Amino acid sequence: MTSDHDPLTGDELSRAAQELSGALGRLVRRLRADAAGQGLSLPHASLLKRLEREGPATPAALARAELIRPQSLLTTVNALQEQGLVERTPHPTDGRQVLVELTDRGREQLRQRRELGENALALLMSRRLTPSEQHALSRTVGLLQRLGEDSTPYYGHPRSSEMPATALDERSALVLIDLQKRILALPTVHPADGVVQNAARLAEAFRAQGLPVVRVRVAWSQDGGDMPVGRTAVARPTTAPPADFEEFAAELGPLGDDIVITKRHWGAFTGTELDLQLRRRGVTQIVLGGIATSIGVESTARSAHEHSYHLTVVEDATTDVDLEAHAHSFNKIFPRLAETATTDEVLALLGR
């Protein structure tokens, strides 16, 4: 029998981490849904927060900081200016440039957005928790703050330094696996919001370089006739999911010129035209992310390796519903198939 003074075992820590990560992810998504009533999209809110945090900046500097194309940045600035949330002012030393800065109305919009989130959370606490539970939750705030103080990335496994990313081929493609709304709602071991945000950053950067972005989704016919067959030890669904199951996360942005691949199996190559779409565009390297690490991502990585593509798996744009399976992929499988990198490392290589 263990006491509160005994350290948790590895399995106990893994279960606790999975439950905490899933709970925090669901809570953040709920609060963001409430904040959506303020009329700010995530890109708009991100730009306003940057201006509030760092002060006025030129459009070019903002585009670099937000890792988006200048044209996309100007579209965002124009929309925010029409709402009176930002304004353009003359550059103090360079008459050829302008600065974008936050207006008082923009600051008020951010304040209201934060207040809405805080009020929504307070209301949830008052309705869902007993007084003793409210006090217990309040006492955990300091612990959560301590967990967030270390900014060093950690994804549930030792950093895969055995084969860190060294380069990106001139014709590389970003392939994102199963970043669908309903899949993102699963209790992943790392917050799904962070995975999607990193995937969106990568997608924007690849588009800006004129490189292919491939969105892979898993879907089946409504009659379920094309679902996988065969006896398995673990039961699997026998009926097709709802029609909206195949919808991509809104954070990935408009579909635009992105390539869409619909798969019926775990991997993105089996039974699809993914290899054809990449070969005919001259692609020699794949940058890979998505959900789940040990299923769709690993299956696709194995096939990419067998098809002789250079491969980089992006650690913080990848997650799973099982911590041990996620760690096994990164520690045992990917080092034999690929290099690994964080989102920031890929973006740095892309900018060379």
The answer to whether the beta carbons of residues 317 and 195 sit under 8 Å apart is: yes
pLDDT band at 4 (very low <50, low <70, confident <90, very high): low
Higher pLDDT, 318 or 251: 318
Whether residue 76 is predicted with pLDDT greater than 80 in this model: the reply is yes
pLDDT band at 227 (very low <50, low <70, confident <90, very high): confident
Across the beta sheet with 339-341, the strand order is 259-263, 213-218, 172-177, 285-291, 310-319, 339-341
Output the pLDDT for position 1.
47
Output the pLDDT for position 103.
94
Output the pLDDT for position 36.
58
Output the pLDDT for position 115.
84
Whether residue 204 is predicted with pLDDT greater than 80 in this model: the reply is yes
Least confident piece of the model among 165-179, 197-211, 230-244, 246-260: 230-244
* CATH number for the domain whose boundaries are 172-350: 3.40.50.850
| Mean pLDDT, the chain, integer | 84
Residues 338 and 335: their CA atoms lie apart, in Å, by 6
Whether residue 77 is predicted with pLDDT greater than 70 in this model: the reply is yes
Output the pLDDT for position 221.
79
Q: 172-350: same fold as 39-102? A: no
Kindly report, residue by residue over 279-293, the tens digit of the pLDDT: 999 999 999 999 999
Which residue shows structure tokens 């942005």? 253
Q: Which two tokens stand for residue 135?
A: 């006090």
Output the pLDDT for position 34.
64
| Partners of 313 in beta bridges | 288, 340
Output the pLDDT for position 210.
94
Cα–Cα distance list, 96 to 54, 66, 89, 102 (Å): 22, 22, 12, 20
Least confident piece of the model among 76-80, 102-106, 137-141: 137-141
Whether residue 237 is predicted with pLDDT greater than 80 in this model: the reply is no
Whether residue 165 is predicted with pLDDT greater than 60 in this model: the reply is yes
The answer to whether the beta carbons of residues 205 and 67 sit under 8 Å apart is: yes
Higher pLDDT, 77 or 30: 77
Residues 268 and 274: their CA atoms lie apart, in Å, by 7
Output the pLDDT for position 312.
96
Whether residue 181 is predicted with pLDDT greater than 60 in this model: the reply is yes
Domain ranges for the chain, please list them. Answer: 10-37+110-147, 39-102, 172-350
Write the DSSP symbol of residue 292: -
Kindly report, residue by residue over 37-62, the tens digit of the pLDDT: 556 777 888 889 889 988 898 888 88
Whether residue 337 is predicted with pLDDT greater than 90 in this model: the reply is yes
Phi-psi region of 271 (alpha: psi -120 to 50; beta: other; left: phi over 0): left
Output the pLDDT for position 240.
72
* CATH number for the domain whose boundaries are 39-102: 1.10.10.10
